[in-house]
Amino acid sequence: MVIANLAQLRDRIAGALYGLAVGDALGSITEGMNPSDIAAKYGMITGFQSGEQMASDDTEFTIFYIELLRKYGLGITAETIADRWLEDIYHPSEIYKGAGFSEAMTLRNLKRGIRPPFSGQHVHSWSDGLAMCATPFGCIFAGQPEKAARIASVFGSVSHSGEGLYGGQAVGAAVSVAVAGADLNTINNTALAHVPEDSWVHYSISAAVEIGKSSPNVQAAVASLYEKLVCDYYYWSDLAPEAVGLAFGLLTAAGGDFRKAVLGAVNLGRDADTIAAITGAISGAKIGMKFLPPELLPNVETIPGRCIRAMAGKKISDAVEVLGDLAEKEMSAHGN
């Protein structure tokens, strides 16, 4: 894919990052819930319920990985990433209160001297913790999904394996073609092309896309996706195959419409902040920052640092500039 307009690419990178943060913040209040409980408590959610809703671990890990790419470049190794986990995320004076079990188990392994890729081979390695923060890889390698998926695997090998890696690869590849101007069918097919055909992630994305195509609207898709793809017999909601599949199903049902896709995720529940972050990132990358609903943008610019204290006070606008510079440099190096 050839990108002719660098200004448009930067606008789409901004759309991806702000879209991710908006989805993360909007979904924070319905995480772990189901559609009927959400409807009973909130009715149909159409926007922020309070000014207290802010970006959480999905956004903070995204910004953390952008900071590592800024500091170490695209040749960064899993060993360096692991060292930064110990330096910037682990605090010996307190209990880790960050993201999910996959991150806690990764830190446990790293503290015991277990290095990548073995640090990511634990009983929660299939979580969506990589998928939630794989957007920067697609932004840098615009129109180069193979490279986006590959660097997602480098970062992911520290904390995930198997289905957890595949979820991150799918999201990174999808964002890569979205910021390059691909249509929704190409985005979906690219995600599928960068995970093994016999994987659970591949099955979930395929099934969810078909549900999205056959649903008359997003509300109907939410009900059908929940009934057919949600593993509600499993207590924890952060399975990468489930969350990533649901995100692509909602994107398809919404026709790529940012508001419909993100709010569909929020009203679906389960790992709502991550599902909404993924839908927000991909649809935001597709349409660009200038088309994001302005009323959904408050409260996401500054990172609170609740999960990764080293990220407190970081700005999404600064991260957009970092990714834009890296993407432009990558394009220049390859003659695009």
Domains of the chain: total: 1
The span from the CA of 314 to the CA of 324, in Å, is 17
For position 101, what pLDDT does the model report?
86
For position 91, what pLDDT does the model report?
66
Task: Band the pLDDT of 336: cuts 50, 70, 90.
Answer: low
The span from the CA of 111 to the CA of 141, in Å, is 32
Classify residue 158: in a domain, yes or no: yes
Residue 210 pLDDT > 80: yes
Which residues partner with 302 through β-bridges? 315
Task: Band the pLDDT of 66: cuts 50, 70, 90.
Answer: very high
Whether 317 and 67 have beta carbons less than 8 Å apart is answered as no
Classify residue 302: in a domain, yes or no: yes
Residue 241 pLDDT > 90: yes
Model confidence over 252-282: pLDDT tens digits? 999 999 999 999 999 999 999 999 999 999 9
Range of weakest confidence among 92-101, 275-284, 318-327: 92-101
Closest CA to 274 of 98, 14, 28: 28
Classify residue 306: in a domain, yes or no: yes
Alpha helices, DSSP H, located in the chain? 6-27, 35-42, 57-72, 78-84, 101-111, 135-140, 145-156, 163-179, 184-193, 200-214, 218-229, 240-253, 258-268, 272-287, 316-333
CATH of the domain at 252: 1.10.4080.10
Classify residue 303: in a domain, yes or no: yes
Residue 62 pLDDT > 60: yes
Residues spanned by the domain of 87: 6-331
Classify residue 336: in a domain, yes or no: no
Mean pLDDT for 319-324 is 98
For position 233, what pLDDT does the model report?
81
Closest CA to 273 of 132, 110, 102, 87: 132
For position 328, what pLDDT does the model report?
93
Classify residue 1: in a domain, yes or no: no
Model confidence over 138-157: pLDDT tens digits? 999 999 999 999 999 999 99
Closest CA to 248 of 205, 207, 210: 205
